[in-house]
Chains A and B, each alone.
Chain A
Amino acid sequence: MSRTALPRTTLTPRRVAAATVTAALVVGLAACGPKADGGGSTGKDAAPQQGGTLTVLNQNPQDQFDPARLYTSGGGNVPSLVFRTLTTRNRADGAAGTKVVPDLATDTGTPSDDAKVWTFHLKDGLKFEDGSPITTADIKYGIERSFAPELSGGAPYLRDWLVGAADYQGPYKDGRTLDAIETPDEKTIVFHLNKPEGDFPYLATQTQFAPVPKAKDTGAKYQDHPVSSGPYQVVKNENDGTHIVLKRNPNWSTATDDQRKAYPDTIDVQSGLDPAVINQRLAAGTGADAAAVTTDTNLGPSELAQVKDDKALAARVGTGHFGYVNYLAFNPKVKPFDNPKVRQAVAYALNRTSVVNAAGGSSLAEAATTFLPNQETFGYTPYDPFPAGATGNPEKAKELLKEAGYPDGLTITLTHSSATGKGYGPDLATAVQDGLKASGITVQLEALDSTKYSSTVHTVGTEPGLFLSGWGADWPSGGPFLAPIFDGRQIVTDGYNFNSGLLNDPSVNDEIDRINRITDHAEAAKRWGALDKQIGDQALTVPLFHPVYKRLSGKDVRNIVISDWTGVLDISQVAVK
């Protein structure tokens, strides 16, 4: 859960956010509302068939295809067609999709009593693309190589959790192996953790848990020809992942994989496109674009306004939820935010309607009063410590300001990024500014260059008093959502620090430890929700909204599944015939 050891500068919070948000955009309610389609027997009602070519139109090239280097939530999209992992996300629509299910393993792992030792067994008949069997040694090797400095990019959890892994440098240099991972036989793998982690099955969905055959490993060049364990293999990868073509892997079988449907014969991924172009092409749906989807582009507010008047198009728009919160972050070391009453006044004064509209309107953002996303899997417990309605409560805010010693109002500075449309930009900042006006709080805006924004606001010492921030978890659980932001032991003084409120409350820290021991997800979720409420009362952050993603898909695309884990259309389920 921890992001304490962020050793690589590449792992900026934006990168985390980008990886998670990127994973979070797609469409797909068409499967649920096919009536408006009117396409007759070829419409979306017909049972999905095998065959055909699915085109994927994306903004961001898949510039990394090494399982060790991918920072993805639940195995990503295109990569999860090629790499199977010990566990994976349940490929189902909505909330059911937040469950973790077995993939290569027979179950989601057997924990020891204290959740510090996790044991997995492999299914029978697992094969790589060349027909050779997949063994636990391949999985262990795949994890080990992700520690090599030349294959950096993955999430830091394994290094933090595995016993003796803190200084491990991978198998290349001195051939050392990780003693924390045992493979007593070809079918069994045992992980030894240095602390209880009930969320381990969620971590095992990441591509670092994909098997890599040692004999075929070419180090940094492995991503040119990664060995497939999934339904497709890479036959073409041009211009650093700008154009990728996947074809069927003959050695993959539905007998061992009940999650991936793999209907199309070929998947053609074209990236480097402008978001407006992607949505235009999907809307027009001419030629190959009729059987096209996108996994990283959502509809913007203006595109949504157009869709409103076009019923056929609206039927092709799906809704995705992804666990994310945009919030105002306080630095209580900066005056006047050291005074809880000032922070509370800001919380009461906020006009969330303006904020939601600035974020794209009620279809693209849901007003938030909790830090945890409004999904059960995170332990969402509805609460509002500073109830002020949709448009704020200026009287209450003024009263608090008076108590805090500012009877004539207050001038504060809000720091935001200069980049528009990123969730930390001027649009949102001016909406906050206008909302606080009625309560006598004058907000001065300070724009930071977008390239410097993350590093400035997430560094102790340069952190401003009040700034726009956002957080998304690496898997749908309360732990990775709350711990990096509120665990006092995760305050980082010489690198990226996400605990911007510098909260170091023993009662919070201890509760985090206690919940991590719980292996029953539903039970843990309840406790995370209660913890969220406890922290929320301190007004160290003011939750603004939870984003919602609207995605368009081509008119011939069927069987659209969008899970709440990623909020993204799942390519492994899509059919084009």
Chain B
Amino acid sequence: MAPQKPTTGEARTASPAAGGRQVWRRLLARRAARTAGLVIVLLTLIAVAAPLLSALEGQDPTSYHNDLLDSAAGGVPTGTLGGVSAEHWLGVEPGTGRDVFSRLVHGAQISLLVAVGATFVQVTIGVLLGLAAALGSRLLDQLIGNTTEVMLALPSLVFAISLMAVVPSDFPRPLLLTLVIGLLGWAGTSRVVRAQTLSLRQLDYVAAARLGGASRWRIARRELLPSLAAPVITYAMVLLPTNVISEAGLSFLGVGVKPPTSSWGQMLSGATTWFRADPMYVLLPSALLFATVLAFTVLGDAVRTELDPRAASRLRVGTADDTAAGTTGPATERTAEEASA
């Protein structure tokens, strides 16, 4: 989304960059957004360094430890808090004795990778189809419009479960999860982009470009996309936590990653029956999942407030601070930008 260096006479492509920096500064000024961002950075680091962290602990996510289980009592971990010890920092899994810390950090890889990947797929398809619908022929618009309706009406969870079930099991599961979630969830983005494009192309600077002989592709790329960045980023930030949940949900239902690969959803699914006997085993993946979704949601909310103040004030009643930040800031900037065009 970062546009090229400003060249002469192209002030409008420059302004989003300046706006981007300003948005960034204002985001950092918000404590909630800052904390959420920090949590996300931390989670990303954990995910990237998962093998390293496991090695540091001296464990791996798949090895069984039968000696740490009370076999006669259903295989519950011996010791306190689900078998927490110097060797197993967060205890072991009931029934298998696999290291919970290792499984959690490796699970973060799947969660984040799939969520980010799926969001990327959703946004890419959504933007391309939204632009095509807005700029193409009426027939194309209708075709894409109808397809979008169908996609929105589709019971995506049921559809995802059946898709995950029919694909041969040697297809890489994380990639499959990414594709299934991505391909089923682009409809919203496509609609937003189409609507936004329709209103943008009425504007004088687009008309000017058209009169200047610019091709449709050039208009889309140079005139429309930079202005679409704000709503698209906002929408993507809303999609991200939803996709984290979708991945966890599918894994919870047993159609996600293939065992013995760990994912938070799968851990939760195994943990549901253990919540009384071994609460730690349920709390840990739940807490991580909760923190991830909350962080993405808070950050997404803040980004939306900064980038799309009108939508934000419509959708939520913010604090005085939020409202103030919303009404000044980018709104005036956008006006300036539009005026300059």
A interface residues (Cβ-Cβ under 8 A, vs B): 276, 300-306, 308, 351, 353-354, 356-358, 360-364, 391, 418-420, 426-427, 429-431, 433-435, 445-447, 449
Asked if B74 is at the interface (CB within 8 A of a chain A CB), the reply is yes
Assuming the contacts A433-B260, A434-B260, A445-B258, asked whether A301 and B95 have C-beta atoms less than 8 A apart, the reply is yes
Assuming the contacts A302-B274, A429-B259, A434-B63, asked whether A361 and B74 have C-beta atoms less than 8 A apart, the reply is yes
Chain B 64-98 per-residue mask, 1 if CB under 8 angstroms from chain A, else 0: 10100111111110000000000000000011110
A276 nearest CB neighbor, chain B only: B273
B255 nearest CB neighbor, chain A only: A418
> How far apart sit A497 and B181, CA to CA, in the bound complex (Å)?
39
Q: Report chain A residues within 8 Å CB of B95.
A: 301, 357-358, 360-361, 427
Q: Of A353, A362, A418, which one neighbours B254 at CB under 8 angstroms?
A: A418
Contact of B66 with A353 in the complex, beta carbons under 8 Å: yes
- 7 residue pairs of the A-B complex, CB under 8 angstroms, read A276-B273, A302-B74, A302-B76, A302-B273, A357-B71, A361-B71, A361-B73
Contact of B259 with A302 in the complex, beta carbons under 8 Å: no
A415 nearest CB neighbor, chain B only: B169
> How far apart sit A356 and B254, CA to CA, in the bound complex (Å)?
22
Looking at the assembled complex, report how far the CB atom of B150 sits from the nearest CB atom of chain A, in whole angstroms: 26
Contact of A302 with B276 in the complex, beta carbons under 8 Å: yes
Q: Report chain A residues within 8 Å CB of B223.
A: none
Q: Report chain B residues within 8 Å CB of A351.
A: 64, 66
Q: Report chain A residues within 8 Å CB of B255.
A: 418
Q: Report chain A residues within 8 Å CB of B254.
A: 418-420, 426
Q: Report chain B residues within 8 Å CB of A363.
A: 71-74
Contact of A305 with B73 in the complex, beta carbons under 8 Å: yes
A362 nearest CB neighbor, chain B only: B71
Q: Report chain A residues within 8 Å CB of B278.
A: 302, 305
Contact of A304 with B259 in the complex, beta carbons under 8 Å: no
Contacts A303-B273, A445-B259 known; 5 new A-B pairs at CB < 8 A: A302-B274, A361-B69, A361-B73, A361-B75, A433-B260
Give chain B interface residues in 253-300, CB to chain A under 8 Å: 254-255, 258-260, 269-270, 273-274, 276-278
Asked if B28 is at the interface (CB within 8 A of a chain A CB), the reply is no
Looking at the assembled complex, report how far the CB atom of A309 sits from the nearest CB atom of chain B, in whole angstroms: 9
Contact of B64 with A305 in the complex, beta carbons under 8 Å: no
Q: Report chain B residues within 8 Å CB of A356.
A: 71
Looking at the assembled complex, report how far the CB atom of B4 sits from the nearest CB atom of chain A, in whole angstroms: 48
Q: Report chain B residues within 8 Å CB of A360.
A: 74-75, 95
Looking at the assembled complex, report how far the CB atom of A431 sits from the nearest CB atom of chain B, in whole angstroms: 7
- What's the dominant secondary structure at chain A's contact region? helix
Asked if B62 is at the interface (CB within 8 A of a chain A CB), the reply is yes
Contact of A362 with B94 in the complex, beta carbons under 8 Å: no
> How far apart sit A300 and B272, CA to CA, in the bound complex (Å)?
12
Q: Of B69, B169, B258, B269, which one neighbours A357 at CB under 8 angstroms?
A: B69
Contact of A358 with B96 in the complex, beta carbons under 8 Å: yes
A420 nearest CB neighbor, chain B only: B254
Asked if B165 is at the interface (CB within 8 A of a chain A CB), the reply is yes
B97 nearest CB neighbor, chain A only: A357
B254 nearest CB neighbor, chain A only: A418
Contact of A430 with B260 in the complex, beta carbons under 8 Å: yes
Looking at the assembled complex, report how far the CB atom of B282 sits from the nearest CB atom of chain A, in whole angstroms: 10
A418 nearest CB neighbor, chain B only: B254
Q: Which 3 A-B pairs have the closest CB atoms?
A: A301-B74, A304-B74, A305-B277
Q: Report chain B residues within 8 Å CB of A445.
A: 169, 258-260
> How far apart sit A335 and B62, CA to CA, in the bound complex (Å)?
27
A416 nearest CB neighbor, chain B only: B259
Q: Of B64, B73, B269, B276, which one neighbours A354 at CB under 8 angstroms?
A: B64
Q: Report chain B residues within 8 Å CB of A302.
A: 74, 76, 94, 273-274, 276-278
> How far apart sit A486 and B258, CA to CA, in the bound complex (Å)?
33
A364 nearest CB neighbor, chain B only: B74
Looking at the assembled complex, report how far the CB atom of A315 sits from the nearest CB atom of chain B, in whole angstroms: 16
Q: Report chain B residues within 8 Å CB of A301.
A: 74-76, 94-95, 273
Q: Report chain A residues within 8 Å CB of B63.
A: 434
Looking at the assembled complex, report how far the CB atom of A302 sits from the nearest CB atom of chain B, in whole angstroms: 4
Q: Report chain A residues within 8 Å CB of B75.
A: 301, 305, 357-358, 360-361
Looking at the assembled complex, report how far the CB atom of A354 sits from the nearest CB atom of chain B, in whole angstroms: 5
Q: Report chain A residues within 8 Å CB of B269.
A: 420
Looking at the assembled complex, report how far the CB atom of A152 sits from the nearest CB atom of chain B, in whole angstroms: 30
Assuming the contacts A360-B95, A430-B259, asked whether A304 and B73 have C-beta atoms less than 8 A apart, the reply is yes
Q: Of B74, B96, B258, B270, which one neighbours A305 at CB under 8 angstroms?
A: B74
Contact of A361 with B259 in the complex, beta carbons under 8 Å: no
Looking at the assembled complex, report how far the CB atom of B188 sits from the nearest CB atom of chain A, in whole angstroms: 30
Q: Report chain B residues within 8 Å CB of A447.
A: 169, 258
> How far apart sit A303 and B74, CA to CA, in the bound complex (Å)?
8
B258 nearest CB neighbor, chain A only: A445
Looking at the assembled complex, report how far the CB atom of A442 sits from the nearest CB atom of chain B, in whole angstroms: 12
Q: Report chain B residues within 8 Å CB of A357.
A: 64, 66, 69, 71, 75, 95-97
Q: Report chain B residues within 8 Å CB of A305.
A: 70, 73-76, 94, 274, 277-278
Q: Report chain A residues within 8 Å CB of B96.
A: 354, 357-358, 427, 430-431, 434
Looking at the assembled complex, report how far the CB atom of A567 sits from the nearest CB atom of chain B, in whole angstroms: 18
Q: Report chain A residues within 8 Å CB of B66.
A: 351, 353-354, 357, 391
Q: Report chain B residues within 8 Å CB of A449.
A: 165
Q: Report chain B residues within 8 Å CB of A435.
A: 64
> How far apart sit A305 and B280, CA to CA, in the bound complex (Å)?
14
Looking at the assembled complex, report how far the CB atom of A424 sits from the nearest CB atom of chain B, in whole angstroms: 13
Q: Report chain B residues within 8 Å CB of A300.
A: 74, 273
> How far apart sit A419 and B255, CA to CA, in the bound complex (Å)?
10
Q: Report chain B residues within 8 Å CB of A364.
A: 74
Residue of A301, A306, A363 contacting most chain B CB atoms (<10 Å): A301
Q: Report chain B residues within 8 Å CB of A362.
A: 71-72
Q: Report chain B residues within 8 Å CB of A418.
A: 165, 254-255
A429 nearest CB neighbor, chain B only: B259
Q: Report chain B residues within 8 Å CB of A303.
A: 74, 273, 277
Looking at the assembled complex, report how far the CB atom of A60 sits from the nearest CB atom of chain B, in whole angstroms: 19
> How far apart sit A306 and B63, CA to CA, in the bound complex (Å)?
26
Looking at the assembled complex, report how far the CB atom of A98 sits from the nearest CB atom of chain B, in whole angstroms: 25
Q: Report chain A residues within 8 Å CB of B170.
A: 446
Q: Report chain B residues within 8 Å CB of A308.
A: 70, 73-74, 76
Chain B 142-173 per-residue mask, 1 if CB under 8 angstroms from chain A, else 0: 00000000000000000000000100011000
Q: Report chain A residues within 8 Å CB of B62.
A: 430, 434
